[in-house]
Every structure is written in structure tokens, then in C-alpha cells.
Structure 1
């Protein structure tokens, strides 16, 4: 459905994400202590739902996607069908409203990704976009930062990685990009805590692919 919103025009999508990527990289220019540059190495276009077997919905027949289940199935699918095994990260962009079922669909999600998954079997994310709106910029920058190692500002260290610095020293209400708070110039910037986390994860032996253009 997302592809069809571009009238199945691959060139239009490539141009759209080229512009979006420029805006995303302006945000990554604010990361201190390490140079982070996001590159797109390729696209996979899905014309029909049968090409997206990893999509899960909150219940049968619902228009709302289940974001947690979809993320897990997206990862599992690519582990079984490794289309781009050498890339640092893989993100599903969808026009479906992604939610979680908690008695009823809760749809205040714009994306989800595995923290510090870059270069590993957890290098996957899911991100919502309204085609042609450029609404993808903020959530994609946010989810890629998760994949690079950042938790939300104000949160403790990522417990699955020993020594991870976390983000307790960067209060949520400062409104940097690793929060959902908007309304100040900080929403276009990454916090000092996120910068430190990216630096830390980049030094892990599992993250060496980040230093190669692949």
C-alpha cells in the first residue's frame, strides 16, 4: 500500500528518501565525538501484501498493525531470507498505523527498533510514514539512533550490554530527539547522552561494520 501511494514509481521514492536522508543527516551532525553519516544502500519495494509476510495486525481484519510482532517477524524473515546481509541496519517503512494491543489498540507509535542492534542479528527497525509528507524524518532518525545504541533520554543503561552508559543524565523534558517531546530546537538535536552511547556501542567488537561503507 505504501508503494502504491507513490503510484509504484520507484524513482519518486528514491528522490523522496534522498531528501529525507539529507534532513536526517543534519540531525546526525549534532552527534558529538564521532562522525555519523547515514547512507541508503538499497530498497526493496513491495507491490502486494503477499510480499510482506512479516506484517502482523492487532487482530484479524484490523487496519492497525501490531508493531512489536511486526518488528520481530521482520527480523525473523530477514534472518531466513538475507537480502542484504552486510548492511549495518534494515528498516521497514510502512504507511500502516502501527499500534499495540493493550485491551484496545494503542496507536501512539511512530516506530520501534532493537537497541544497539547495528551489525548484528538485531539490526532491524520499523518506521511509520505518511507518503510524500516527509513525516518519516524524525521517527527514522530516532529509530536509527536506537539501532546505533541510544535508549530514550532519561532512561538507565541498556541492561543487555555491560558498561552501557544509558541516558539518566539527560532529562526527558529537555526534549532532544531521543524523546517524544517537541516544541524546542532540541527536537532537531541528539542529546550528549545519546552521543556517548553511540560512541560506546561503536567501540564494541560487534559493531565493526559501522566503519565500512557496505
Structure 2
């Protein structure tokens, strides 16, 4: 069985900004070997700590139609220059060469910085930099109406038969679930209960997705943050606990594994081709799951017509089998695909959609494996999903549970940075609407609005103005993004959360 997920995916980018000229400098007397105090200007001083988001040697695949180039990249010289300030949500490349300081990256949710090497030096010889704003949040909106891409779910998928029995999940069968097909499983062997399952993930970024990243490093950091974000959806899972590790990245330059139809990625044909791509040995190592992150709109022709109401597809219980593949949409640099990735990987681990019964697993409760709005439930697995994953993992061979991917490199460590710490609400809305506005030739700038009643439950509105009318859609605030005052969102709760490094 394959599960189709539905998401909001309407992406835009705004170039409007205010710009300031600054001369950043390191406050030497307050800096140490691993920490820097960086003075941007009179108003902004950052307490920077060294980041640890990359392995010393990283396995990276650059794939074309005729060639797969697997590289072991020494990232130590780059990692030495990466810093962050957790409190200010800063992520900066700080390069000191021959007494010259070059700073580039995110200062905070509203400000970015980059060097202007050809600019005039300060009296102290400091390099000129541009400090520029991203569009600020507007909260004075009127006449707010909704624009939504939520679609009604198909009845064939929603009318699942309630059962308390463990269902047989045949890995890789991705037909639409049919009612009244429940069977029970028999257990032939037993073993010691598993306490932890580390799911090794290899992510393929297709050409439509990775073209928005300037370098391999930028893409790898992004995918590490995505992996860390989906981890939060599984924290209640016990016996075993589920953890994720990013063990490989493929940057595809020619997508031989996709089926494109009228500019969209046809889901069922693509997942079949993705299985063949894996079986042909194109994914190095031995990851437990392979996830295709696409920048295309996903479609389906399963019912004889082209349907674009699909955002992901997965082989249920495909983990550690030849059908260990899934795919999902993501708007590059927006972290919009976190929900799809968490949902589809849960299918790979053995979870099905929540049933239509009135209990603590009900579809209407809106847990991760439902499309209903469930508040904070949307950030966690239901008891039924946990039980399904637990039952499937118990049947996995030891080679899957215990064996690390067979590559002689260090792995990327999961970043503790959350998506909302890297993307401001304004930038997120710009990305959400970008594709829609361009496709419909609408000349407008998207922006974010956070009415207190929505922000308090970790939601906001992404809007744009046209013909004196404001069009908005309600979206979930990203993990780590500011909600009310200085509070941030964590799994649907707006509060005073601590985002400590691991």
C-alpha cells in the first residue's frame, strides 16, 4: 500500500529591502578558541559559538545520466568558519584571512549580512559589509480572506476499517487501501525487545530542488536541519525509540528516476522508477530508507485524470527492503516539506493512516498520520501509529537494526538547529507563495501576519494583496520560529522553549 499526503505548497521571493553599511569586528578580549564575540554595529553584538553540523569527511553523490561521482569531502576547513548564536538565531560564515574579516549569512530573523570587498575600508582597515533587511511582518491587515490549497481526501483512503488486530503490511505494495481487507499476523519467532532503532536516511535532492542551493555544503546543512526537524515528531515513541541519522546525500543533475507529466512529477511511476534506481546500485552504502525530496509539484494519474492534490508517496513498511523508497515535495530553503517527510517516513516504518474510529487514534484527532487539523497532535504519532511501527520494527532483521551504512566515512551529525531558526516568517511566506504567484502571473509580494489568536496556537497567515483585496492562507508556524513575543513554537505549542545544541 502507498499513502498519499496532502500539503500546502504554494511558493515567492521578495527583493525589497533596506540596506546599511557596516564594518563588523571581533571583540578580541571577549573571544575564545571556540567562541567569538562579533560586533556588527553599535546596536548588534553577537555571541557566536562554533557549529558542528558536518562530519569531517562527508559522502556526497553528484549524479547525472551517465555518471555518478561519489566524493569524500573534507569539510574541516569549512566547518572551522561556521558559527551560530542561538539567542539571535544567527548562522554565519566568519572568515579571517590575512587580517581581513569577511562575514556572510543570517544575523537574525530580519537581517542578513555579506561583505563588499571592493568597498572603502574603515580607518581601522575593516572590510565594508552590507547589512540588509528582509521584509518585516505586517500586523495591520484588513479584509483578510482565505486562499487555501487544502483538498478533500479521497473516500477510498479515509474509509479505513477499524480494527484492534495487527495488520499484515506487505512491503512495497502501494495500491490505494481497499476496505474489508484486514488480516492478522502470526509471530513465529521472538527476540529481546528493541530499545532503540536508528533509522539511516539517504536523501536525494532532485534538480528542481537543488538548483536553489549554491553549494554542496549549503544543501547538506539544509537536509541535516530537515532531518532534525522530523525527529521531533517521534519523541513519544518508545520500545523502541526512533532516531534518525542522515548518512548520505545525492545531488541529482539529471533526474533519470522521475516521470514528468505536464510539468509535474507523476508519483506512482516515479516511485517505481526510484525503486529500480536503488536496486541498480545507484545509492551508495546501505541506508535504511531513501527519500526523494523534489522541487516539482507531485501529481497522480491513478484515477485516469491528472490530480495535483498529492504531496508525497511511500511504500508502507518498506524500510530495509528493496522498496525502502519514498518521495515528497519541498520548497527549497523554506523547510516546507518537514511534515511530508515525517509522514512518508512513518509509512516506510510501518504506520498507516489513522482509522476512522472514535478512540484515541481517531482520524479526526489530527495526529501525524491524519490530514485533519489536530493542533499539537499534528506533531506526534498516535498510539495506533506507534503500535504499527513497533510491530513492523520487531520483524526487521538484525542486519537492518544493527548494521550501519557500509561507507568508510563519518556521518553528518543531526543539527540541533530548527527550521524556524533559519527562516523568518516573512521569508517562509515568500517561499510558500512563490510558485503560485509566478504560475498565475500575479505581481504581488507575499508577507506574514500573526494575529494573536493564531500565533498562540502556532499558526499564522501568509498573505498577498491584489486589487485592494488581501488573500491569505493559514499555515503552521515552523519549529523554532517566533510566535508571541519572544516565545517560539515547539510541536505546536507557543512557549518559552530552550533550543540547546546536542
Q: TM-score range by the shorter chain?
A: 0.7 to 0.9
| Map of 2:247 onto structure 1 | 41
Asked whether the 8 Å contact 1:118–1:210 carries over to 2, the reply is no
| Residue pairs, 1:91-110, within 5 angstroms | 91-101=291-301, 102-110=303-311
User: Of Structure 1 and Structure 2, which has the larger fraction of its residues in helix?
Assistant: 1
Computed over aligned residues only, the root mean square deviation of the Cα atoms, in angstroms, reads 2.0
Structure 1, unpaired ranges of 5+:
157-167
Asked whether the 8 Å contact 1:64–1:105 carries over to 2, the reply is no
Structure 2, unpaired ranges of 5+:
1-207, 406-502
Separation in 1, partners of 2:276, 2:313: 15
Separation in 1, partners of 2:364, 2:287: 34
Asked whether the 8 Å contact 1:33–1:195 carries over to 2, the reply is no
| Map of 1:161 onto structure 2 | none
Q: 1:57 pairs with 247, 260, 265, which one? A: 260
> 3-state SS of the aligned residue for 2:247?
coil
**Structure 1 residues 31 and 64: CA distance shift in structure 2, 3 A:** same
| Map of 2:290 onto structure 1 | 90
Separation in 2, partners of 1:196, 1:98: 30
| Residue pairs, 1:13-52, within 5 angstroms | 13-47=219-253, 51-52=254-255
Report whether the alignment pairs 1:149 with 2:355.
Answer: no
Asked whether the 8 Å contact 2:316–2:351 carries over to 1, the reply is yes
For each residue in 1:103-158, what CA deviation from the matched residue of structure 2 results, as whole angstroms up to 9, or x when unmatched? 432112111110001111110011110001111111101111101000111179xx
- Asked which structure has the greater CA Rg, the reply is 2
Across the two proteins, how many residue pairs are aligned to each other?
196
For each residue in 1:44-93, what CA deviation from the matched residue of structure 2 results, as whole angstroms up to 9, or x when unmatched? 1012xxx31111023xxx11110111011111121113423521000111
Over 6 Å off, 4+ runs: none
Q: 1:66 pairs with 266, 280, 285, which one? A: 266
